[in-house]
Structure 1
Amino acid sequence: MKHVEALASAQLDSQVGVGELPWIEDAGKVAPKDARNLSKLFFDRLQLLEEGTREHQYARNTLIEMNLSLVRFAGRRFMNRGDGDMEDIVQVGSVGLIKAIDRFDLSREVEFSTFAIPYVVGEIKRYFRDTTWAVHVPRRLQELRVDLAKAKEELAVVLDRDPTVKEVAEHMELSEDEVIEGVVAANGYTAGSLDMAADAGEAGLAQVEGRTVADFIGEPDPGMETVEDLHCLNPLLGRHTDRERRIIEMRFGQEMTQSQIGEVLGVSQMQVSRLLSCTLAKLRTGMVADD
């Protein structure tokens, strides 16, 4: 404790403290060992200060800055994921640190670092779970992905080769279907860009230089919709009279006008219009019913 008092005295350097706490100019530069001891002093005082006061704000902010090293320590284990930089991880982990500071009680007789790490790690894990998956999958499968990666790594060391699905399933005491489900879900963790270079083997081409994945993706074919519509119309036309089918054929097959159709059938243009409208209405109703 004498070392802490000496440190506080040196940092004070003729400045006035806040309440009964020493003034620390740059709490982020306090060494981790000194931060542990100073944190006890600040926590002890924080519990007595009224929330919202200048003294309470100073004590709380200083505790946050002094213990950011805990966040960096916990965040290093997530750096090998390759989908987040340290700055983002520290930012997210700081939320957990603040929650831990607000909920910590010295009477627990436990080190603050031991109490805070689960809060920090929990926030970082939540961040990766909620924001880094390209396709949303259930949390159970997200966690299974991590377990599968560990199991494959362990088996690869023992077997000196990539393990099979059966071997992974036995190692994890899961069914092969569960392992396959986890592997399929893991494919949703990252998504490739459509602008990335196409692979010749996957594209089935000898040369794809300068071509992207988007160049090989099919587009909707309007002709397919026409085929589907004609396929649905065929049985519906069979339910109509020969006269109705003939009117449809002349109007849409031969593209004759209503007047020309009337001359062929020996009826007026108005009658052709009524017959055509009635026939089309029945066909339209039949198409909707079939859909």
Structure 2
Amino acid sequence: MPVPASAKHHPHDDAPDTAEAFRTLAELPPGPEREALRGRLVEAWLPMADRLAGRFRNRGETLDDLRQVAALGLVKAVDRYDPGLGNAFESYAVPTITGEIKRHFRDHMWTLHVPRRVQDLRNRVRCAVQDLSQTIPGRGPTVAEIAGHASMTEDEVLTGLEALESFTALSLDAELPGSEDGYSLADALGSADPALDTVVDRESVKPRLAALSERERAILYMRFFADMTQSRIAEQLGISQMHVSRLISRCCGRLREQIMRDAGA
């Protein structure tokens, strides 16, 4: 069945009169005839989908890609439209196609996930700036003017302005402005201080060291802080080197066991 053109007035100049074709589509069983009619309906409404895609040009996506997304939204609208509800197809198709395009921007154009609220603020600010730019010659609109035009607070406008050109993230390998020696953003980032682990270990062992006998503390101090050999420690304390070795091993083993037990408590 061909999709007839009509002289009847529509909200869209290029809108074909496809009411009868949609009623036929709803009654046809799955098969080649239904698929052919479905294809002709999609083709008949493609000019409208292309025009809707054109409204989103110059936002970081090519027009060809936007047309493909709009065509996908059109196919979904054709498949889901129910002529029995009595609404015109374009009243259903326009928000379906527009929603598909906006979803494409939300899902594919942002490098990082941005809250829906921030995206909405961005869109409202962008529209307000476009409107005000036509009425304010020679300068851009102020934050207060945008807020008044879009019924937003100034804080909301500032958030929207920050998100206006924030589809992509800056690479950590990007050279910082004014740098002449290849200094990148990654070079300016901090890193974990390995000494922090030492601080944790020292604080954990401190009360256990205090619980040792005076001689055990002295032996550990001379060995690990004064860097004395076992033979020098034995000579200073008047005991054998073997005794010193056993005392060090026993103290370290007991401390390790107690600290591990404390950590698991």
TM-score, structure 2 length as denominator?
A: 0.73
Q: Tell me whether 1:89 sits opposite 2:66 in the alignment.
A: yes
CA apart distance, 1:56: 1.2
Q: Secondary structure at the match of 2:152?
A: coil
CA deviations 1:42-71 (Å, max 9, x no partner) are: 3242122112x2211221122223322222
Match of 1:220 in 2: 191
Match of 2:224 in 1: 252
Task: Decide which of 30, 40, 43 is 2:22's aligned counterpart.
Answer: 43
Match of 1:133 in 2: 110
Q: How does 1:1-291 map to 2 (within 5 A)?
A: 21=1, 36-37=16-17, 39-51=18-30, 53-82=31-60, 84-107=61-84, 110-155=87-132, 157-158=135-136, 160-186=138-164, 188-200=166-178, 205=179, 208=180, 211=182, 213-214=184-185, 216-218=187-189, 220=191, 224-226=193-195, 229-230=198-199, 233=202, 237=206, 240=210, 241=212, 242-256=214-228, 261=233, 264-265=236-237, 266=239, 267-282=243-258
CA deviations 1:242-274 (Å, max 9, x no partner) are: 545434433433445666655554334222201
Native 8 Å contact 1:133 1:189 kept in 2: yes
Native 8 Å contact 1:244 1:279 kept in 2: no
| Larger deviation, residues 116-125 vs 246-255 | 246-255
CA deviations 1:181-212 (Å, max 9, x no partner) are: 44455564321234444311xxxx5xx27x36
Gaps of 5+ in 2: 4-11
RMSD: 3.7
Native 8 Å contact 1:135 1:188 kept in 2: no
2: distance between equivalents of 1:154 and 1:100?
30
CA deviations 1:146-173 (Å, max 9, x no partner) are: 1122334445553854455445444444
| Larger deviation, residues 141-150 vs 104-113 | 104-113
Aligned residue type for 1:279: L
1: distance between equivalents of 2:169 and 2:261?
43
Q: Secondary structure at the match of 1:67?
A: helix
Structure 1 residues 262 and 79 mapped into 2: Cα distance closer, same or farther (>3 Å)? farther
Native 8 Å contact 1:194 1:214 kept in 2: yes
Structure 1 residues 44 and 152 mapped into 2: Cα distance closer, same or farther (>3 Å)? closer
Native 8 Å contact 2:49 2:67 kept in 1: yes
CA deviations 1:108-153 (Å, max 9, x no partner) are: 5554334311111111111111221122122121111111223344
Structure 1 residues 107 and 235 mapped into 2: Cα distance closer, same or farther (>3 Å)? closer
Structure 1 residues 87 and 232 mapped into 2: Cα distance closer, same or farther (>3 Å)? same
Higher normalized helix content (fraction of residues): 1
Aligned residue type for 2:66: I
TM-score, structure 1 length as denominator?
A: 0.67
Structure 1 residues 268 and 280 mapped into 2: Cα distance closer, same or farther (>3 Å)? same
Aligned pairs, number: 248
CA apart distance, 1:78: 1.0
Native 8 Å contact 2:172 2:185 kept in 1: yes
Native 8 Å contact 1:247 1:261 kept in 2: yes
CA deviations 1:205-224 (Å, max 9, x no partner) are: 5xx27x36346433526xx3
